[in-house]
Amino acid sequence: MRRLRSLILAGLVAVAAAAPAVASEEMEYPKNEWSHGAVTRGFSNIFGTFDRKALQRGFQVYKEVCSACHSMNLLSYRNLSALGYNEAEITAIAAGYDMTDGPNDEGEMFTRKGVPADHFKAPFPNEKAAAAANGGKAPPDLSLIVKARKGGEDYIVALMTGFETAPAGFTVPSGGNYNKAFPGHVIAMPPPLSDGGVTFADGTKATVEQQAKDVATFLAWAAEPNLEARHQMGLKVMIFLIVLAGILYAAKRAVWADQH
């Protein structure tokens, strides 16, 4: 047993020791504190819950800034109840959008006000239109962006705060912007956030960093809306399994007592 264990350990150590020596082209992003525990970082905060105020501010940033170009097709207005909005508020948010519906009994498409059951209204009618309006490539949908990028929330923050003037000798092609966090450093998206670009209802100072963290929190929730339910159930399941394992261990000891 012991020898076998050291054998396996040796194998793992060999691999682990080799790992840091690799020429790494992958980017590292500064790690932020997240009250929910980062979605993409395992075991980071097993009691984590979303910061409701940050979620609402983040939604405001998305609504007033990002949604001009980025869709969130997987979300519905009804989902916003998880951010702490009540039914009247959600109805009002949804009613702020005009939705194309139909065909009606006359076979005509018509426009109506949004309802909570509607999916988030996309900025462009289709992907081709989105690409045509944005230099040939459609801005990515943001519903899952936190889970779809290495670094998750931290990547979003790094990207939002990573716009700067290109270092000497680095030529940025026309239509591109320099961003130190973006792979390849040239991104078509112009810097979306600016200090005071939004005015938060709760009086929080809207610095670029603040907006970046808030919108990253909102996008983390959008990608993983059941995170809190998962953490809560996980705690119960873990306690159950550990207690059961303890009972079974005691039973095993008792059954085997006459054999040792």
Partner 1 sequence: MAHGPATSSFKNPVVNWLDQRLPIFTMIQKEYGVFPTPRNFNYFWNFGAIAMIMLVTMIVSGIVLAMHYTPNTNLAFNSVERIMRDVNFGWLIRYIHMNGASFFFIAVYIHIFRGLYYGSYKKPRELLWMVGVVIFLLMMATAFMGYVLPWGQMSFWGATVITNLFSALPLVGQDIVTLLWGGFSVDNPTLNRFFALHYLLPFVIAAVVFLHVAALHVTGSNNPLGVEPKGPQDTLPFHPYYTVKDSFGTVVYLAIFAAFVFYAPNFFGEPDNYIQANPMVTPPHIVPEWYFLPYYAILRSITFDISIPFTGLKLIEAKLGGVIAMFGSIAILFILPWLDTSPVRSARFRPIFKKGILAFLVAFFLLMYVGAQTADAAWHLGGLEIPLVYVGQLATLVYFGFFLSLPFVGLIEKPLPLPASIAKPVLGGGASAAGATAKPMEKA
Nearer to partner 1, 7 or 88 (CB): 7
Among 115, 148, 186, 208, binds partner 1 (CB under 8 A): 148
Find out whether 99 is annotated in a ligand binding site: no
Q: How far is the CB of 81 from partner 1 (least distance, A)?
A: 13
Which residue in 22, 88, 117, 168 binds partner 1 (CB under 8 A)? 22
Structure tokens at 138: 């459609």
Q: Is the separation of the CB atoms in 116 and 166 below 8 Å? A: no
The footprint of partner 1 on residues 94-133 (CB under 8 A) is none
By CB under 8 A, tell whether 256 contacts partner 1. Answer: yes
Q: Annotated binding residue at 160?
A: no
- The annotation status of 27 as a binding-site residue, yes or no, is no
Which residues between 161 and 220 bind partner 1 (CB under 8 A)?
183
Cβ 95 vs Cβ 110: under 8 Å: no
Determine which residue in the list 40, 210, 211, 217 makes contact with partner 1, applying CB under 8 A: 40
As a whole number of angstroms, the distance between CA 196 and CA 200 comes to 9
Q: How far is CA 18 from the centre of its chain?
A: 31
Instruction: State the angle between helix axes of 152-160 and 208-223 in degrees (0 to 180), rounded to the nearest 10.
Output: 150
The residue within the footprint of partner 1, chosen from 31, 112, 128, 150 (CB under 8 A), is: 150
Name 163's bridge partners.
179
Q: Which tokens sit at 6? A: 């050291």
Query: Roughly what angle, to the nearest 10 degrees, separates helices 208-223 and 52-64?
Result: 100
What is each CA distance from 235 to 33, 44, 228, 238, in whole angstroms? 21, 14, 11, 5
By CB under 8 A, name the binding residues for partner 1. 1, 3-4, 7-8, 10-12, 14-15, 18-19, 21-23, 25, 39-40, 42-43, 46, 74, 79, 140, 143-144, 147-150, 183, 223, 225-226, 229-231, 233-235, 237-238, 241-242, 244-245, 248-249, 251-252, 255-256, 258-260
